[in-house]
Structure 1
Amino acid sequence: MPIEVEARFRADDALPLEALAATPRLGPGTLGPARTVDETDRYLDTEDGRLATALWACRLRSREGLTRISLKGPPRAGATPAWLHRRPEVEGPATDEIAPASWPASEALELLQTLSGGRALVERLRVRQRRTERPVALDEGPPIGTLTLDNVRLAAGDIDLGELFVVELEVDPASALDDVELADLAGALATVPGLVAEPCTKLERAMHRLRGRE
């Protein structure tokens, strides 16, 4: 199963994101042109929380007229820097309807049916974000990943859970980026005023805020 690898940081406001949208470099890396898109993510689970119990997250993402399903598993065990996120991820095509039986066949759909036991899914959380993306390259080589700058709004049903400002360096699984090079790039992010390492996912942040309202 593919492994998602990324460095994640957060900020209290949009200023660090604006700075990263304009700078030409990130430590040893060169940043390409910025592109901004709007995304809506819906996090799904069964009524009895089968996916959460299994430590998996199910995300239905709508972007530029397309919808995809992503299943993200528990992080790999072992001590890691707070910014490092490494976990299994599998994706596939879907539709806007929360009706897995109508989605095209895929490895992601098969895993979802296994995790859910075939039970109906409901929306637990919604994440709306304006995402600015910049390709990252080392020296004169091809891109090794994407720097994403996310202005996020969280909601659970009618409950507004506030904003998040998140920076992620998503490693291209086809690249030859090694752990030392990733640490150098993450170290450069750590020097950006206003950024701190983010050990939590957006889903985890939203759930923390939701529990704080109960």
Structure 2
Amino acid sequence: MPTEVEAKFRAETAGPLVELTARSRLGRAVLGRARTVDEVDRYLDTDDGRLAAARWACRLRSREGMTRISLKGPPSASDEGWHHRRPEVEGPATSMIDPDGWPPSPALELLATLRDGRPLVERLRLEQARTERAVALEDGTPIGLLTLDRVRMTEGGTDLGELFVVELELDGSSAHGERELGALAAELESTRGLVAEPRSKLEHALERLAARE
């Protein structure tokens, strides 16, 4: 099963994101041109929370006229607060939350097992402006993608506030990413206003929702 590996950091304001948008380098890595896109993430589960009980998250992401489903599994333990590693399976989808209308994919097969015939409902919604920058070594060898996210979290129309997140996700096809990740994460951690973030965006939203109940 494919594995998502990334370094994740959080900021209290957009300041660190603005700084990272302007930088040309991150340590010994070169940063590509900044590009910003709008995304809407809907987190789905069954009405009785079967995916959450199995420690899986189901994200339906819409951007630039396309929608994809991502299933993210239980994270591996790490000594570093910024280090995230977990199984991830993706596939095509539609804007409808009924998976019976989605194209076949390994993600759809796994979702069918996890939901066990139960319908899906929207639990949370995250709307974000995402600035993306390719990360590569000087010789052009790809390392991954740096994303700078300004996130607005909602639940059933209730505003749960903003979140400012910086992520460096490794390119799964790169043989250099794993050994470069620690040094690049250290560069991010040294950026004023950034702190290591052990939680996912979904976990942040759930915490804020629980605080309001």
TM-score, normalised to structure 2, is 0.98
The match for 2:185 is 186
The match for 1:163 is 162
C-alpha distance in structure 2 between counterparts of 1:75 and 1:139, whole Å: 31
Matches within 5 A, 1:31-42: 31-42=31-42
Q: Name the SS for the 2:165 alignment partner.
A: strand
The match for 1:95 is 94
2:171/2:177 contact within 8 Å kept: no
Deviation at 1:138, TM superposition (A): 1.4
Matches within 5 A, 1:96-111: 96-111=95-110
C-alpha distance in structure 2 between counterparts of 1:130 and 1:178, whole Å: 25
- One-letter code aligned to 1:132: T
The match for 2:50 is 50
The match for 2:27 is 27
Residues 79-104 of structure 1: per-residue CA shift (max 9 Å, x gap): 33000000000000000001100100
The match for 2:125 is 126
C-alpha distance in structure 2 between counterparts of 1:44 and 1:209, whole Å: 17
Unaligned runs of 5+ in 1: none
Residues 137-162 of structure 1: per-residue CA shift (max 9 Å, x gap): 11212221000000000001121100
- One-letter code aligned to 1:209: R
- One-letter code aligned to 1:103: W
Deviation at 1:31, TM superposition (A): 0.3
The match for 2:71 is 71
C-alpha distance in structure 2 between counterparts of 1:46 and 1:162, whole Å: 25
TM-score, normalised to structure 1, is 0.98
The match for 1:198 is 197
Runs of 4+ deviating beyond 3 Å = none
The match for 2:79 is 80
Percent same amino acid at aligned positions? 66
2:137/2:143 contact within 8 Å kept: yes
Unaligned runs of 5+ in 2: none
When structure 1 is superposed on structure 2, of 104-113 and 174-183 the one drifting more is: 174-183
- One-letter code aligned to 1:29: A
2:170/2:177 contact within 8 Å kept: no
